[in-house]
Structure 1
Amino acid sequence: MAITLDAPIRPAEPADPAESAGRGPSGGRRSTRTGADRARAARGIRSFLRQPTLVLAVAVLALVVLWAVAPTWFTSWDPIEGVARDRLQPPSAEHLFGTDNLGRDLFARVVHGSATSLAATSVAVVVGLTVGSVFGLLAGFLRGFVDDVIMRFMDVLLAVPSLLLSLALITALGFGTINVAIAVGLASVASFSRVMRAEVLQVATSVYVEAARVSGVRWYTILARHVLPNASGPVVALAALEFGVMVLAISSLSFLGFGAPPPTPEWGSLVSGGRDYLAVAWWLTTLPGLVIVAVVLSANRISRALERNGGTR
């Protein structure tokens, strides 16, 4: 009698829960992911609306950005040419922020000056974020001698007050809005570098990074694909915080006369120009100063929200 040996029956492997959850009767994983993304977005919007201070901060920054992009939407007055008979008028329906000693509408000068101030601040943030992140990334990933050299240099930068360091760099670069922005950005490199290095040191010991090293992936590919995306969250939150700090720093340097030359409107120079008229025209310094304070506080509030949520991590 012939005996036939049947092939052993292999037990069915359990299905991937994520895969089985993504399958539906009408079309795969995409619809489920889309629904989950929509639910997550709806929860995020509800959480955002339940924080009135955060909503106000975003609204303030959005308004200032609109001032910079389309100033003629908010005022029809010329920020450069004044009317002599309208000089030193207090705030009114016609002149929301009053007029200066040359009869120029102060609200128009604040609105048009937002483009210069925000552009300078954006340049400073980009310079500080880019240079500092590169140094921190290399120091935290390569370690050893490279880490020691970079971090001792950053310690030297941190030992010098940022405003004094900015003044020294402006002396070397020259006056002007762009030079002021570059100087302020370079003065903040140490802060970005230290935060990035701390995050890279944490991410570099992760299992997936070690697996990529063992599998022979080149170090710069590991940096670009694994380390940088997972270490950038707190750095983005710091960039939001530094945005407010840099608005204040650039306004301070403009107040001292290192920014755009007159009659170009700039927030710091507007505050400086009203110092001689404090007794008779308080609005010349108070109202532009309140705009600066509102922008700085709004940037700080957004930074706290990003830090609480882990940035973009």
Structure 2
Amino acid sequence: MIGVVGAGAFGTALAVALARDGRAVRLWGRDVTALAARRESARLAGVRLPENVTITAEIADLRGAEAVLLSLPMQALGGFLAHAGLQAERLVACCKGVDLRTLTGPAAVIAAACPDATVALLTGPSFAADIARGLPTALTLACADEAEGERLQHLLATPVLRLYRTADVAGAELGGALKNVVAIAAGVVIGAGLGDSARAALMTRGYAEMVRLALSLGARAETLAGLSGFGDLVLTCTSEQSRNFRFGRALGAGAGFDPTVTVEGAATARAVARLAAERGMDMPVTAMVAALVDGGIDLSAAIQSLLSRPLKAE
């Protein structure tokens, strides 16, 4: 049995994908009465949960799972683990971001709360709707323990959900977190009417920032060039399905955005701006996004701050 914590779109999509391949899955959520009755998530219209998905509001029902996937917002992960009393041998983070309190990624947050568990990370270019519909998707599975990583790879992969393994947890975490910040910036560019050429330039310089910070924190460059970095960056900066891109586009257009929608890149921009300042690193795209999100700069000043930077070698 595989446990999934978080009955939002992504957690439910993972539960559907794993169950469709014949696995027994238990999907936990705080308020799942309607989901249990309908067997269909309002966030994944037309996708019915297979009968081998058990829906529960009791954390105790996840005991004995071969692995528990944690599909929660990054900023909610630490609080959940501190109070849930979750007991599992293998915990797999399925969120992308940097915790505002600790300035660490999800693996460190999980390890601090559950020191006896094997910690892994599932990340990469993916949308919940695609996974739920059974469309081919490739993800990175990161685990410092290579034997456990291989075990999880075989446990969680399906014929259409391909998992590529790495031991570089830091690289996989940072690729997934930082691409959301760049996606907001890419959305700003499009929302402000600056065009696709400007978006391509922004993505390229944003990727350079991602690699620079990741390398300084011990990640490997090839991880950032893979699914969890470059692959996810391309998807998130170019698709209307991306919440981070849509949020940035609204910022760039001066339009409103639904405050109930989780935009991981907004909090991550704040956290990474602090982290970069502590390390004395120059990250202009991240700084611009953080300032826009916090209202510390207006759009025209934000754009000018990037365009007026000194000319230099690439």
TM surpasses 0.5? no
TM-score (ref. length: structure 2): 0.28
When Rg is computed on C-alpha atoms for both structures, the one with the higher figure is 1
- Judging by fraction of residues, say which structure has more strand: 2
- Greater relative contact order, per chain length (Cα 8 Å cut-off, separation 6+): 1
